[in-house]
């Protein structure tokens, strides 16, 4: 066994034994503690044995640091489907996604049929100004060809310091086109609004970032101004919203509630046990609400839907939600790395855990294929979208009745 592997074994055994002693909680003479120590020794020796075998016999040379990082990734990944080790780049990306802004060219991309295609350039972004269009295939960044096996690295090369130059080559109608541009700070709006009818508003939330509650509050104000007074009804669309920042979900719920628990959580550490409650002040002043959900509504979306449903503040329309009732905490580590670790289970105001169950809608309406994607005009289609049509059908009579009472 090499000196380097012996050193790794010493470190692994030290860490594992330290953990086993703290978990065992007994004196050294306690039999249960000895059993755990022996098991820890066996697993540490096994780790070192596998490490040495891979180093010696794998078809290609593997760096020690790469092997150890892979071991760390596996340790965290095997805990559950949501815990994850983040290297410096991944940690930076996750922080960017929660802030709602980043420095880049402003283009949404997706892997389609083995190629990297532009979904849409963000309005006003360098990509939009340079003429990049939806459907373009990105084939190179700064002259380096796209490799689908390292898609994250490619997306990372599109980002960079504001003001720095980047050249993006796209393929359109079998013609390669180079676009040279300067990166800038891109602000990603998570809220889309529209007035469906006089005094009837529609707001779609695509994700929950740090700015979402502020954006949503501003959207409601603008809809009220456009309608010439207080809204009589609002559709809050959370379909295909994968979640995001828990505190953002709490703040969004709080916009429409006057009192009561929004969400509670229970975990092993002190910080993982908490209860979040509403503060007085409903920005709709009690006007009717419908929340649209589907199987793509998860995590923070389910917190909002569950809180508004349990407090009878909104009617939930659509299909059952995804069912992610776990809270992840991002824990910073050395050298810009982090782990995203499941630390709590959360519960709706009624005390229910929705993990692997989801939230059942009050009114079941099957998904319409292609929705809730917005059309190219940016407008919703209230006729072809059956779930939205069901929400409007519920709200319009109530809006009329509410108006007559004034």
Give 318-339 pLDDT, tens digit per residue. Answer: 999 999 999 999 999 999 999 9
- Percent of the chain at pLDDT above 70? 84
Per annotation, catalytic residue among 36, 190, 288, 324: 324
Closest of 134, 355, 344, 369 to residue 239, by C-alpha: 369
Which residues are CB-contacts of 72 (< 8 A; sequence separation ≥ 6)?
85
191-404 fold? 2-enoyl-CoA Hydratase; Chain A, domain 1 (3.90.226)
Give 342-387 pLDDT, tens digit per residue. Answer: 999 999 999 999 999 999 999 999 987 766 655 434 557 777 899 9
Per annotation, catalytic residue among 136, 251, 254, 310: 310
Q: What is the pLDDT of residue 379?
A: 59
Domain 101-187 superfamily per CATH = PDZ domain (2.30.42.10)
Q: What is the pLDDT of residue 380?
A: 75
Delimit the domains of the chain by residue range: 3-62, 101-187, 191-404
Q: Is 324 a catalytic residue?
A: yes
Q: Is 310 a catalytic residue?
A: yes
Per annotation, catalytic residue among 288, 299, 301, 344: 299
Whether the Cβ atoms of residue 327 and residue 355 lie closer than 8 Å to each other: no
Question: Alpha-carbon distance 166 to 390, whole Å?
Answer: 46
Q: What is the pLDDT of residue 23?
A: 41
Q: How many Cα neighbours within 13 Å face the side chain of 301?
A: 29
- Residues in the chain where the model's pLDDT stays below 50: 17, 19-30, 375-377, 403-406
Q: How far is CA 10 from CA 5, 6, 55, 75, in A?
A: 9, 6, 17, 18
E strand residue ranges, 324-386: 326-332, 338-347, 363-364
Residues in the chain, total: 406
Backbone angles phi, psi at 117, to 5 degrees: -115, 150
| Domains 101-187 and 191-404 equal at CATH topology level | no
Question: Alpha-carbon distance 310 to 345, whole Å?
Answer: 18
């Amino acid at each position: 066994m090499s000196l380097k592997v012996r050193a790794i074994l010493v470190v692994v055994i030290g860490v594992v034994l330290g953990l086993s002693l703290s978990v065992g909680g007994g004196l050294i003479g306690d039999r249960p503690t000895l059993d755990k120590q022996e098991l820890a020794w066996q697993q540490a020796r096994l780790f070192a044995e596998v490490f040495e075998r891979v180093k010696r016999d794998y078809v290609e040379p593997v760096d020690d640091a790469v092997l150890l990082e892979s071991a760390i990734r596996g340790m965290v990944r095997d805990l559950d489907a949501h815990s994850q080790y983040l290297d410096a780049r991944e940690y930076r990306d996750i922080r960017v996604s929660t802030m709602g802004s980043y420095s880049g060219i402003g283009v949404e991309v997706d892997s389609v049929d083995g190629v990297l295609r532009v979904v849409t350039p963000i309005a006003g972004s360098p990509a939009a100004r340079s003429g990049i269009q939806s459907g373009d295939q990105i084939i190179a960044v700064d002259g380096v060809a796209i490799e689908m096996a390292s898609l994250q690295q490619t997306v990372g090369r599109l980002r960079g310091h504001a003001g720095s130059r980047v050249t993006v080559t796209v393929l359109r109608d079998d013609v390669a086109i180079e676009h040279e541009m300067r990166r800038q700070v891109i602000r990603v709006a998570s809220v889309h609004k529209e007035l469906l009818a006089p005094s009837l508003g529609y707001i779609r939330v695509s994700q929950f970032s740090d700015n979402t509650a502020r954006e949503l509050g501003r959207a409601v104000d603008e809809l009220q101004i456009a309608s010439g007074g207080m809204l009589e009804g609002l559709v809050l669309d959370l379909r295909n919203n994968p979640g995001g920042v828990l505190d953002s979900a709490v703040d969004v719920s709080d916009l429409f509630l006057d009192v009561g628990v929004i969400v509670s959580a229970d975990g092993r550490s002190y910080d993982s046990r908490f209860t979040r409650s509403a503060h007085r002040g409903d920005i709709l002043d009690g006007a009717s609400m419908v929340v649209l959900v589907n199987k793509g509504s998860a995590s923070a979306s389910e917190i909002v839907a569950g809180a508004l449903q349990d407090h009878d503040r909104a009617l939930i329309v659509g299909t059952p939600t995804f069912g992610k009732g776990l809270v992840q905490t991002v824990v910073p580590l050395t050298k810009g790395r982090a782990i995203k670790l499941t630390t709590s289970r959360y519960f709706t105001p009624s005390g229910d855990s929705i993990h692997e169950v989801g939230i059942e809608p009050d009114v079941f309406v099957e998904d319409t294929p292609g929705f809730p994607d917005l059309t190219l005009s940016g407008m919703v289609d209230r006729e072809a979208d059956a779930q939205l049509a069901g929400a409007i059908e519920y709200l319009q009579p109530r809006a009329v009745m509410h108006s007559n009472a004034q």
